[in-house]
Every structure is written in structure tokens, then in C-alpha cells.
Structure 1
């Protein structure tokens, strides 16, 4: 387990010090995360495993600035503007597309909100949809998509914003095995291209093996693994034997 005094140094994209999240008060209170201490640095590739309800999603939401810790602290030392979409991108586990926008508009939305002109934003969105094999969905509305298709679009939307930290919550959970492998390939390759860190929560041991650093969560408690050498590459894309 990482020592608290090791949570320091340059290139730290997000740092948690004793970060906890409790929902409710009194006897009905539920502690989703107990005092997590960790950091994610530039170039990290981290898999977080653990059973459902162990606090993985809540930890990612704390790292993304979407949840406020009820104890401890979460900071973003190397991100000049903090956890905004072009700095921290989140692939949510549940539905996250805006129903009134078609797929390409959903994918381009972070760029439009950041002030990029509509046409360049659309071209970037189409490029990212192509990466995840979803170009043919560009004109569809979210209600016309399967769960797996919507998940691929959600990945494309995050990649379109080119963040420095990618947080993916069960990104392959609704995908068949082949498509899931491809999405992990895309996330790893995009993180390499962007120079971004990648943190993935997963139930799938095959996905976890693709990332060189492994953390686990159980009953809201985080255990971090040893940090691999900085020059250790991520696993190569998996191949299907004919």
C-alpha cells in the first residue's frame, strides 16, 4: 500500500489525501469511500478492481471533481484550470448522453462548450467516433442506441476533448468481448497520443491485465499497488486466434 508521505512530486494530475465520501447522516449514513490516499501522475495506466458497491465509481467521481469529499482533500496540482472537461475526461458507467442531441452533437459538445467553432468540433467528433467504430451512428439519437453503442459514443466524447486525465468507469461493461478489447485498445492508444494518464475501473481481469498498475477497492477502502517503472509499457493489444 502506498505510504501517505509518498503522495508528492511533479506531474501529479490528481492527489487524494484521506479523501472520504459519506452519503446521509446518523445511523442511515453510508460511507462510500474511506480515507483514500493516492495520486495519479502523468503517464500512469491504472486499473481499479473490486466488487460492485466497493466505492470504485465514487472514487473516480472524487478524482474528477464531480463529488466533494466529506473528509480529506482532493487536489489537481498539475492541472492549471482544475478538473474541467479538456483537463479531466470521464467515461461514465451509466447513461450520459444528452437525449435531444444526436451522436455527433453529443461527441462534439465538450468542444463547443469550450468555444471551438462548430465545424472543426464536428470534424474532431467524427474522427473520434471512427476510432471507436461508431461512425455509422453519427446521425442517431441516444434513444436509438443500444447500451454498448452508447458506451462507445461516451468514450469518443471524452477523447474528443483531449484531456490530460481519462477516468473510465467500467468502459467495457456493456460491450461484447471483441468490442471491449477494441475500446481498451483505443483508450490506451489515445492516452499515449495525448500524453494523458488513464484510470479504468473494471470487473474484468482481462481488462485489468492491460494496465501495468493495479489498485483494489473493498468496502470503500482503497489499496494501491506498487508503482511500475516509468518506462514499463502497457500490454499490447490482444489478438484473437483464428
Structure 2
């Protein structure tokens, strides 16, 4: 397959938890790719494998079988190349909001003052700058989710993966977060993949993938069609 613009590619990637009779297959042989500029919604019921697929795309988990590769990244997957908005709590309890948001930059060697300025700018994008000195325990679920989005944006990744980013937000706040994700992806020239239960969110993205019982069904568009096992163009 021509790798031009391909940020991540799965080839028959599967993920199984456990062994023997108790084994659970979370993802069955997924073949797909995400390219620069893609805007993809992954829909499906709870437990369908959406989160596990995002973890595979982010290199947070390794496939049990098959392969995942990142031909379009100049560095290995990490916060500066692949940003993940997690579905559950992901902020570090001992750090305040601005410290949590600046963390990816600080860990990559950015001077702390510059990292804090960038973090405050990104918090402002998600209308959370007023929370800068709060600890995670002082935040509502929706506020924590907005901070998690700002933390990903701070690192300016090439690929943004968001797992139910509006799940704990009211409709107006959720719409704003999707606005920010789309605008940031456009500015960075990044790929964006959003796992969501909300059809209103899914309609905001130009591509639709669905998952059911661990099986991925990408849409037939060439920019996100299943990877071809013969190596030809989709």
C-alpha cells in the first residue's frame, strides 16, 4: 500500500485478553489506516472494542496478532506525536490543572515557563483557564475532561485520538470541545479519530467507522479503507 500521508496503519491487528477458555477478544483482526487530515468517528455500543482499538493506534497496547505501524511519524508514538484523550480519569492527582496540562511538554524537555504559557493558552481554548490552580479532586467530571483535552492540544501531536471526549459534558460544552478538536487538527494538519456514542458528534466528522463485538467496519472511502493484504491501493 502507498504510505504517503499515512500516520498509522493496522494490518489484521487483534487484541486478546487472557488465555484459554477465559480469553476475551477485544479486537478481531482490524485492518485500517489513518492519514493526515482524516476526521474519523468510531461508533458502536459499549464493549464493542472502540477503546482498545484507540489504544492500539496510540501504541499504548501491542496487538496479540497482526501489526500496527506509524509510517507517517518522524518519532516513535508518544505525547508529542500521538495525543490521547482518555475516557476515564487521567489527570495526576498531585498536580494542579496547569501542571497536568503542561506535563507532556515538560517531560519532553520544554522549559517550564514556556510549557506553562502553552498550557494556559490551551486551557483557554477549552474555557478552562480559570481552573489553572485547581487540583483534579476539585474538578467536576466535565471540567476534568476539558483539561484532558487541553493537555493533548498542548503537545501539538500529529495524530489526535479521543475516547468519548464529550461523554461527561453537557451539549453546549461537548459541541465546543469538538469545535476545538477539529480546529486544532486543522491547524496542526493532524489526523483526528473520535470514539463516540453520540450520533451528533459522529456527524461532525467526515468519515465513519463502526465497531461491533470487536469487529471494525471502516467506511469505503479510500482515505480510511481497510488496508489491502496484497499491498495495493485501497
Identify the range of structure 1 (140-149 vs 76-85) with the bigger mean alpha-carbon deviation. 76-85
Aligned match for 1:142, one of 136, 139, 155: 136
Give the aligned partner of residue 16 of structure 1: 10
Unaligned runs of 5+ in 2: 225-234
Alignment correspondent of 1:194: 188
Q: Name the TM-score, length of structure 2 as normaliser.
A: 0.94
Where do 4+ consecutive residues of structure 1 move more than 3 Å?
A: none
Number of equivalent positions = 224
Query: Does the C-alpha gap of structure 1 residues 208 and 228 become closer, same or farther in structure 2, counting only changes over 3 Å?
Result: farther
Aligned pair 1:95/2:70, yes or no?
A: no
Gaps of 5+ in 1: 1-6, 231-242
Give the match for residue 115 of structure 1. Answer: 109
Offset at 1:227? 2.1
Structure 1 residue 228, shift from structure 2 partner: 7.1
Q: Is the 8 A contact 1:63 1:74 kept in 2?
A: yes
Measured against aligned partners, the alpha-carbon deviations of 1:15-44 in whole angstroms (never above 9, x if no partner) come to 000000000000000000000000000000
Indicate conservation of the 8 Å contact 2:35/2:223, yes or no.
Answer: no
Give the C-alpha shift of residue 80 in structure 1.
Answer: 1.6
What corresponds to 2:160 in structure 1?
Answer: 166
Task: Give the whole-Å Cα distance in 1 for the aligned partners of 2:77 and 2:189.
Answer: 17
CA-to-aligned-CA distance 1:103-161 (integer Å, 9 cap, x gap): 00000000000100000100000000000000110000000001100000000000000
Q: 2:231 is matched with which residue? A: none
Q: Which residue of 1 aligns with 2:28?
A: 34
User: Deviation of residue 9 (structure 1)?
Assistant: 2.6
SS in 2 for 1:183: helix
Per-residue deviation at 1:84?
A: 1.1
In the superposition, the TM-score normalised over structure 1's length comes to 0.91
Residue of structure 2 equivalent to 1:83: 77
